[in-house]
Amino acid sequence: ELKVEQNPLFLSMQEGKNYTIYCNYSTTSDRLYWYRQDPGKSLESLFVLLSNGAVKQEGRLMASLDTKARLSTLHITAAVHDLSATYFCAATSWDTDKLIFGTGTRLQVFP
């Protein structure tokens, strides 16, 4: 059964600093997603990673996928306050369409 783990659960970082959120999954997955969620709001899709070595970047966020290590990372460059939110990774396996979510990483960026 596919399981997804994220760390850290909480991340408090200063503006301008860099940090990485890690997402491990337990069995073969064919798609890996990253979402952002603001308090009380729905999920905003950030990235979809489909193949080993995939790297995608949008602004200060960059996501990568290593299928051999069953690991995806979300790297934050020069954090700004507007990035404060909860970030989820989610995976699907080849035989099911359901998204399996990690526990989320609550990011707080302070001046």
Partner 1 sequence: DAGVTQSPTHLIKTRGQQVTLRCSPKSGHDTVSWYQQALGQGPQFIFQYYEEEERQRGNFPDRFSGHQFPNYSSELNVNALLLGDSALYLCASSPGQFREQYFGPGTRLTVT
* CB atoms closer than 10 angstroms to residue 105: 21
Q: How far is the CB of 101 from partner 1 (least distance, A)?
A: 3
Q: How far is the CB of 7 from partner 1 (least distance, A)?
A: 13
Token pair of 100, please?
């399996």
Q: Which residues bind partner 1 (CB under 8 A)?
A: 33, 35, 40-43, 45, 48, 88, 90, 92, 96-104
Q: How far is the CB of 66 from partner 1 (least distance, A)?
A: 21
Residues ≥6 apart with Cβ < 8 Å to 109: 13, 14, 15, 79, 80, 81, 82, 83, 84
Q: Report the residue number, 83 or 88, with the smaller CB distance to partner 1.
A: 88
